[in-house]
Every structure is written in C-alpha cells, then in structure tokens.
Amino acid sequence: MPDLRPRFDELLRRLGEISDVEHAEAILTWDQETGMPPLGAPARAEQLGALARIAHELGTAPELGSLLEELRELEQSSDRESFEASVIRVTRHDYEKKLRIPSELRAEMTRAASVGYAAWLQARDAVDYEIFRPHLERRLALTSEYVACFAPFDDPYDVLLDDHEPGMSTADVAAIFERLKAELVPLVAGLGEPVDDSCLHGYFSPARQREFSLEVLSRWGMDDQAWRLDDTVHPFATNGSITDIRLTTQFHDDQLVGILSCLHEFGHGIYERQVDARYERTPLAEGVSSSFHESQSRLWENIVGRSLSTWRFFYPRLQECFPERLAEVPLEEFHRALNRVAPGLRRVDADEVTYPLHIILRFELERDMLAGAVTPSDLPEAFDAKLRDYLGVEPRNVLDGVLQDVHWSDSSFGYFPSYALGNVISVQLWERATSELGNLEEEFERGEFGPLREWLREHVHRWGRTFKPPELLERAVGGPLDAEPYVAYLRAKVEALEAA
C-alpha cells in the first residue's frame, strides 16, 4: 500500500478549516443569545448565514470527495477504532449527507434561525404569538425543502431525527414514547397531594445563586481556564473547542431553578470537555448523538443533582448562602421539595416524572406540523390541548404554552425526542456505573464526584463520534436502548415521595 499519510494529513487540514468555521458560527450564536444588543440581529443573521454557507461548501468540495476515495484503502486496512479509520469513516458519512443539501438552503436555514430567535424574544416580550407565527411558517417551509433533499424515505420525520439520532427511526422513538405514555399518563393522573416546596420559593439573590452554582460545578470538574458561565433567556451549552466550554443559565430572584439549570448544562459541557484531545478540529470531536448528550445533562442534573447524598455535602453551603430562607429548613424537607412531583406548565421546570410527557407532546406536534395536520395558526390551541390531555394543566397565556421553548424559533425540528431518550440512557448508564464502581452515594456525601466523571470519560465521552450511538450504548451498558430501567426509576421516585 502506498504511503497515504500525506493525504491523510491533507484531510486533517481540510477538516480543521471546516471545524474552525463551524466553531466561529457557534461562538457568534452564543454571543447572540448572551450579550448581543437587539439591533444587531439582522446583521448577525447575515454573518451566520455566510459562515454556514462557507462551512457547507468546504464540507462538500469535490476535492474532499476525491481525498476520501484515495483514503479508502487506509480506512479498510486500519483497525476500526483507530483515529485514522474513524476520521475517514465519519467524514465520508457527513460528506455524503451534505452533498444532498444545496449550499444556499443551508445558509438560508441558518439566517432564518437567527432572525427567528430574535422574533421569538420579541413575541415573548409582547406575549403575542402572532409576532412569531410568520417566522415559524418560514422555517417549516425551509424544513420541508430540507426533508425533500433526502427523498425517498419511510417517514419524513426520519430525516430530521437522523440529524440528532443517527440510525434511529421515527417508529423506534414512537414505540418507546408509547411505552412511557402508557405508564406516565395514569401515574401522573393518580398523584396525591404534592409535596410542599415553599422552601424553594421566595427571594434568592441571583448573585449568590451564581456563586453557589460555580462552587458546585468546580467540585464536579469545571475550571475557569476552559469554562465560563453566562446568562441567557433559554439556557444552553456550546463550545468553541474542547478547551472552550460555554454554559449559560437564567437565575430567577424568586426561586432556585437556575441552579438546577447549571447542573444540567454542566452535563453537556463535561461531555465536550472530555472528548479525546486527538479528535480536536475533526468531526469526531463532539457528542455521538443528541440523546447521548441529553443523557449526560439529565444524569448530572437529576440522578446526581437531586440525590440526598449530594445535598448532604452541598446543603450546608447553600444554607450559608441563603440563611434567611433555608437556615431553619431541614435537609430532608429541602430534598423532598427538590424532588417534588406535580404536573406543571413549563418543560424546563418539570419534575422527572412529568418531564417525558412534555417531550412526547412536542414530538407528536412536530410530526403533525411536518405532515400539515397542524398549521402554525393551529399550533397554540393544539399545544394547549395536549398540555390539558397529558398533564391536566391549563396555560395562562402563550408564554406557558407555545412560546415557552426556543427550539421552534431556530429550526431545531427533530431535537425534542432527544430529551426523553436521554433520560432513558441516563438511567442505563447510572446502573452500569454503580455496578462497576460500587456505592457512589457514599462518594457524593464526601464531595467526591471524580469516580463517576472519569467512568463517563472512559466509557462515553472520550470516544466522541467514533462509534454509532447504538454501538456506543452497547459498549457502555452491555445492551440496547431499554425504557424499562427508566420506568422503574420513575415509579420508585413516586413511591418514595408517597411513603415519606
């Protein structure tokens, strides 16, 4: 075999350029959602559209396709887990997919997402869905164009889902969601009187919440050399590289949900931070799928962040930060309030048991919108109807309903299922980690979170996109995606609250 190393180095150079442009786009988006003045929105939309076009053209260049063909022999002669074979294989997958999409469509979808985000903010400020509706109509039209690029298909939603959950079908998701819905709708309807969570409400200084959150995150693995935390309307995490991790949150002065938001976003951040450093500036240097990403955020927020053992360590410090609110509140009372189960209006504030129903209703509405069964004009009432049917709650206005999530403003159709699938994976990972590491609760009580973090690094994070999601799950937990451990986990949570 000829020496193909120079050609592989050329591939790495090209991939590095694409990565640089994409990360520049990510940082501009981060800036738009954290610090950009409102009047910067039109120009930012053009900037992001231009970068999206450049990245797409670099990623579909004929020279890149020729290079991949030259390197096919190197891929086939290398171990499948090797850096070289993995880079070539994943790049070829991305290249062939991108070839189906016109550069201008990619650019226009990015521009529309940027403009749509600004319109979503305006609509929320005015509590007026009609401000946002034309932008949703535009993005649905663009999404339909995008889906058409991949015809034929069994289900048009498969195209959108594949962007976030490679290799998973809509039918697979629907089957898991039917299992969850069958269990959770009656479980939620049969809930008794909810736990008193008044200790979590009142005045809590945002500055002190931020201070406390950073103390927790630093204990978990965040440092000020590679991470930062900023404020935004709808929390998210992004990165400029594996050594530039950007978390965002929203602290409210009348409750503590901003702290939980920080714990959630940390899970996303630690995934990107612990990818193998060799993968930097290649397509391998990111999470393997959105559901795996969400499994990390939900594991750290819920399984770790709501556990009694974790708060045995952190609660005294939280009491020091808010003595006027928490000094007289026993740990057990605080912990029960933190794990309260009761139907609510907003997804981001939902407890662990009701949360999947918020996701399922959005999944169903996305499919209906894509099929034309629900139009943007119909969406507010359709959204409210599902909240009533699945959760028994009545929105007061569009902020509680259709405008509560950012995702439909930025064309993230197909992403919502990842949240619930991530919950399923999080419990599978937790059960496997504890079977191998022993009683992690004892570690948490001592403020030791490194063993879990390092287990996740070894079994999930460091691999980036080396394996397809089902293969990574099989390697990490020893089996396929399975909703039953998650269902049992939720049942146990309700039983524990009712028994206390």
Question: Could you list the active site residues?
Answer: 265
- β-partners of residue 245 are 227, 239
Cis peptide before 152 (omega within 30 of 0): yes
- 31: which 2 tokens? 């800036």
Strand partners, 247: 229, 237
Whole-number CA gyration radius for the chain: 23
Please say whether the dihedral angle defined by the alpha carbons of residues 484, 490, 495 and 496, taken in this order, is positive or negative: positive
- How far are the Cα atoms of 173, 285, 343, 493 from residue 339, in angstroms, in the given order? 27, 35, 13, 8
DSSP 478-499: SS---SHHHHHHHHHHHHHHHH
Q: Which helix (H) or strand (E) holds 244?
A: strand 244-249
Which tokens go with 324?
A: 């006027």
Q: What angle do CA 112, 359, 253 make, to 5 degrees?
A: 80
DSSP single-letter state for residue 201? B
C-alpha distances (whole Å) from 434 to each of 2, 296, 443 are 48, 15, 11
Closest by CA position to 398, among listed 411, 413, 387:
387
Rounded distance between C-alpha atoms, residue 174 and residue 176, angstroms: 6
Beta bridge partner(s), residue 239:
245
Residues in the chain: 500
CA nearest 467: which of 107, 90, 163?
Answer: 90
Q: The tokens 């129903």 sit on which residue?
A: 357
CB-CB neighbours of 210 under 10 Å: 17
